[in-house]
Amino acid sequence: MTVTVEPHKSSLGMDANIACLIAYLGGIVVGWIPYLGYVAFLVPLIVFILEKESKFVRFHSMQSFVLNILSLVISLLLTLIGSLIAPSLIYSPGSALAVMGVISTIGIIISIIILVLAIIAVVNAFQYKEYRLPVLGNLAAKLTEVGEGMFHKDTSA
């Protein structure tokens, strides 16, 4: 079931879909900036905190926040694993490099998956649709206290 929301203004003074766009794309863009990528989750969190009225914007900004936190946790885990393997380069350079290559490949694949999920969510949010990412969307709904049918208008088939 896809819930579509009537176009409306957010309490931030812009159209709600633009506020959602800022929440998603802000996190993605900041995530690609060296060193700032570790705080990319702050962009959607700021949108969530500042938005007072639109449940639609609050839901999508929280979903973006959860997606960015997931990305951060995975990035930190892969970095930790890589730093634990790096000392073994002295004793067995070939196998350690192979493992580092596998870890890098896994990181790239996960990054692409997260980017695709974010793009799908951005497109749906821009069209005023409540699109819940698998697992993360339900978590975001619980965190924002948005249940099924809590948005303005249901135009599902």
Inter-helix orientation angle 55-85/136-144, to 10°: 130
pTM: 0.84
The pLDDT, as a whole number, for residue 1 is 55
The pLDDT, as a whole number, for residue 136 is 92
The pLDDT, as a whole number, for residue 27 is 87
Q: Give residue for tokens 């203004």.
A: 9
Q: Please list the pLDDT of the chain residue by residue as tens digits (157 residues).
A: 578 889 999 999 999 999 999 999 998 888 888 888 888 899 999 999 999 999 999 999 999 999 999 988 998 998 898 888 777 777 777 777 788 888 889 989 998 999 999 999 999 999 999 899 999 999 999 999 865 555 544 444 4
Q: What angle do CA 125, 4, 12 make, to 5 degrees?
A: 50
Cβ atoms within 10 Å of 109's Cβ, excluding its own: 10
The pLDDT, as a whole number, for residue 156 is 44
The pLDDT, as a whole number, for residue 151 is 53
Cα-only R_g, the chain: 18
Which sign, positive or negative, has the C-alpha torsion 91, 92, 97, 98?
A: negative
SS3 content of the chain, % helix, strand, coil (to 5): 70, 5, 25
What is the rounded distance in angstroms from the CA atom of residue 53 to the CA atom of residue 32? 30
The pLDDT, as a whole number, for residue 129 is 93
